[in-house]
Amino acid sequence: MDAEQLRALQAPLKARYRDDPGVARLTLSARGTLDGDGLTCRVETPRGVVEAGLHPATGGNAEAACSGEMLLESLVACAGVTLRAVATAMGLTLRGGTVTAEADWDARGTLGVDKSAPVGLPGVRLRFEVDSDATEDQLAKLLALTERYCVVYQTLRNPPALSAEISTAGGVG
């Protein structure tokens, strides 16, 4: 796809969203099922079910997906697609490349071993290596625009308000 094809694809969407901003506001969702007596959660995706479980550092067996790694995979996916779209819009050729996300994690926080150890990933590093003839200035602009328009990157950079609730299956808690 080239820049002209991308613009043609997105032009009607952009026009519709300008005319009626409400139709651009969507509710994204994910659903998991707590089946059986194991320590897993089956997450339904359009491409199939992913069984998430404990990381081996917290007692898992490495057969189930680690949710922390899934978070990084989500960032890689979103950033990679965004980078491709931005490069296309800029008229840059990307012959290939890689997107890598890394985060350091201290399992002591998750296991409650050390209350001073953080629960979660205190820092995430995102790196792109691209096969392109783009100049350094073009690559800098490509990175800046990718950061700006990547939904997962911006969500991690500017954390949303979170809420949680619990009830019984019958709705009475």
Domain boundaries, the chain: 3-12+66-157
Q: How far is CA 68 from CA 28, 54, 164, in A?
A: 20, 10, 19
Cα–Cα nearest to 58, from 106, 18, 124: 106
Could you tell me which CATH number the domain at 3-12+66-157 has? 3.30.300.20
Residue type, 5: Q
End-to-end CA, the chain: 52
Say how far apart CA 116 and CA 108 lie, in whole Å.
9
User: Which residues does residue 45 pair with via DSSP β-bridges, in sequence order?
Assistant: 48
* pLDDT tens by residue, the chain, 173 residues: 999 999 999 999 999 999 999 999 999 999 999 987 789 999 999 999 999 999 999 999 889 999 999 999 999 999 999 999 999 999 999 999 999 999 999 999 999 999 999 999 999 999 999 999 999 999 999 999 999 999 999 999 999 999 999 999 876 55
